Structure 1
Amino acid sequence: MNDIPFTASATPSLGIELELQLINLIDGHLSDKSLEIIPLCNDDSHIKKELTLSTIELNSSVHDTPFTLYEEINTLARKVATIAADKQCGLCGGGRHFSNIWKNQTITPSKRYAELHELQGFLSKLSCVFGQHIHVGVGSGNDAIYLCHALIPYLPHFIALSASSPYYQSEDTGFDSSRFSALNSFHTFGQIERDIDNWHKFIGYVEECTELGVIRSQKDIYWEVRPKPELGTVEIRVCDTPLTLFHAAMLGGYAQLLVKYLLKNRVPIAQARNAVTHANAFYAQRYGYEALYIDINKRIRIPLTVHIQDMFSTLENGANVEEKKVLSYLSSYVQHGVNDASRLREKVQSGMSELEVISDLMEMLLPTAHITHSPS
């Protein structure tokens, strides 16, 4: 069996990947100019291309706190927006473009993306959606595998807290997060299999799936929580891209606190039926804050917001000043009962045009940055 080395990292360090919409400033539609903009940024480590030309991905450095992460991601986004403005483009958050027609998307030229397009067909363009991936550093592969299981009960928290994709092709889907409808068809999407309970078994799983042609490489495993051995992290992949960068950073802070707590207070790998964990995720996608949550330990259904706030209260015990700021922000966010999906609906229901909505979203992400041109 071939070894997959796990690069241990400081626990619990923090990083994020943030997929942003590249917007045509003239009509508010998605723009395909990412390859005209990214090289001008001169930062291949932090500003990257993605599967479609209408996406620009920001990759943070490794941070100790979400507050320094926010400072960096804000600086990166402003740099991109300034250069994009010269191409009549801007940036905004949101898990899905308000009116994007999937067939109009262009796959980014690259060998890997061409292979994905060949395998996935129309799903490659249909999956032109925008997410936030959160990386938290862990000390070993075994810890990463444990967390792939232990974090599953909390994924609905991240779904509801980040939900920002209620519209698809200008229609209200009824979902707070419709982004998943474009991802669920991928054959390697989902959650870690129950019998993979240590790093050795994960290596065996990767080897078997590769030999059988299920995957080409470990990169093809799209679990909702997965290990990232080359980075020494566990990666949470269920978040829509929020409408503001600060909220994205605070979601990273919550993940960091959860990982810290779960490593200190080890729990048995949950034996909840897949139907239960899938139902909890579905309800969060569909209803956001109004979702019910199946508490498998107590065998009851409770409001998802109660489960979220209970976890915030647990994490507050022993939290330092900065960690309490993260929890206070998110707790207030939940108490107000308005998430990004609600904000989008409010804009549309107020009578704003599509272009006005998109302009507002660009302003929310980076106030005035999308109209600031770089010096000639």
Structure 2
Amino acid sequence: MNDIPFRSSATRSLGIELELQLINLADGHLSDKSLEIISLCNDDPHIKKELTLSTIELNSSVHDSPFPLYEEINALARKVATIAKEKQCGLCGGGRHFSNIWKNQTITPTKRYAELHQQQGFLAKLSCVFGQHIHVGVGSGDEAIYLCHALIPYLPHFIALSASSPYYQSEDTGFASSRFSALNSFHTFGLIERDIDNWEKFIGYVEECTELEVIHSQKDIYWEVRPKPELGTIEIRVCDTPLTLFHAAMLGGYAQLLVKYLLKNRVSGAQARNAVTQTNAFQAQRYGFEAQYIDITKRVRIPLSAHIQHMFDTLENGANIEDRKVLSYLSAYVKQGINDATRLREKVQSGMSEVEVARDLMEMLLPSAHITHSPS
């Protein structure tokens, strides 16, 4: 069996990836000028291309806290936005573009993306959606595999907290987050398999799937929580891209706190039935904070917002000043009961045009007056 080395990282180290929409300033539609803009960013390793030409990905450095991470990602976004403006483009968040027609998208001309397009066919263009990926450092491959299982009950939290894709091709989908519908047809999408309970078994899984040509490399494993051995992290992949950068940073802070808690308070390896797990995720995607959550330990349905708040209260124990600021912000967000999906609906229902909505979203991502958030 071939070895896959896992690069140990300091627990709680944090990084995020943000897939941002590249918007044509004239009409509010997606623009295909990402390569032109990225080429003017002086080979900044934190500014990257993605599957379609209408996406620009920002990757943070490694941080101990979400607050300096926010400052860095804000600086990166403003740098890109300044260059994009010269190309009559802007940046915004959101899990889907309001009216994007999938067939109009252009695949980014790289070898990997060309191969992915060839393998996935129309699904590659259909998956022109925008997400946030959260990386939290862990000490070993075995810890990463444990967390791929242990984080599953909390994925609906991240779905509801980040939901920002209620519209698809100008129609209200009725979902808080419809982004998942563009991704779940990939044959390696989903959750870690139940029988993979340590790093050695993960290596065996990768080896077998590669041998059988199910995948070509680890990059083809699109689990909702997956290990990233080259980074020494676990990666949470269920979030829509939020409408504000600070919210994105706070979601990273929540992931940090959850990982710390789950490593300190080891949970049983037993998982809920797939139907229960899928129902909880569907409820969060469909209804956001108004979803019902099946608590498998108590075998009852409770409001998802109550389950989220209970975890916030649990994490308060032993929390430092920065941790409490993260929890206070997110707790207020949940109690308000209004997420980014609701905000988008409110803009449309108020009569704003698509161009007006796009401009408003660009201002939300990068307000004219930057606010520096301090944990003090």
Pairwise same-fold verdict (TM > 0.5): yes
Match of 2:126 in 1: 126
1:22 aligns with 2:22: yes
Contact 1:150 1:270 (C-alpha < 8 Å) held by counterparts: no
- How high is the sequence identity, in percent, across the aligned residues? 87
Superimposed CA distance per residue, residues 148-193 of structure 1 (whole angstroms, 9 cap, x where no aligned partner) = 0000000000000000000000000000000000001000000000
List structure 1 segments (4+ residues) > 3 angstroms apart after TM superposition. none
1:13 aligns with 2:13: yes
Contact 1:253 1:326 (C-alpha < 8 Å) held by counterparts: yes
Residue 43 of structure 1: how far off its partner (Å): 3.7
Superimposed CA distance per residue, residues 182-226 of structure 1 (whole angstroms, 9 cap, x where no aligned partner) = 001000000000100000000000000000010000000000000
TM-score normalised to structure 1 length: 0.97
Match of 1:51 in 2: 51
Residue 259 of structure 1: how far off its partner (Å): 0.1
Match of 2:334 in 1: 334
Matched residue type, 2:131: G
Match of 2:217 in 1: 217
Matched residue type, 2:342: S
Superimposed CA distance per residue, residues 17-73 of structure 1 (whole angstroms, 9 cap, x where no aligned partner) = 000000000000000000000011114410000000000000000000000100000
Match of 1:93 in 2: 93
Matched residue type, 1:36: E
Contact 1:94 1:164 (C-alpha < 8 Å) held by counterparts: yes
Distance 1:141 1:51 in 2: 28
Equivalent residue runs for 1:222-371 within 5 Å: 222-368=222-368
Superimposed CA distance per residue, residues 130-149 of structure 1 (whole angstroms, 9 cap, x where no aligned partner) = 00000000000000000000
Distance 1:118 1:136 in 2: 32
Distance 1:213 1:146 in 2: 26
Match of 2:156 in 1: 156
Q: Which runs of 5+ in 2 are unaligned?
A: 370-376
Distance 1:45 1:287 in 2: 37
Q: Secondary structure at the match of 1:41?
A: coil
1:166 aligns with 2:154: no
Distance 2:69 2:332 in 1: 21
Residue 368 of structure 1: how far off its partner (Å): 3.7
Contact 1:99 1:169 (C-alpha < 8 Å) held by counterparts: yes
Q: RMSD in angstroms over aligned alpha carbons?
A: 0.7
Matched residue type, 1:129: V
Distance 1:283 1:304 in 2: 9
Residue 271 of structure 1: how far off its partner (Å): 2.3
Residue 269 of structure 1: how far off its partner (Å): 1.6
Q: Secondary structure at the match of 2:239?
A: strand
Residue 270 of structure 1: how far off its partner (Å): 2.9
Q: Which runs of 5+ in 1 are unaligned?
A: 370-376
Distance 1:226 1:166 in 2: 26
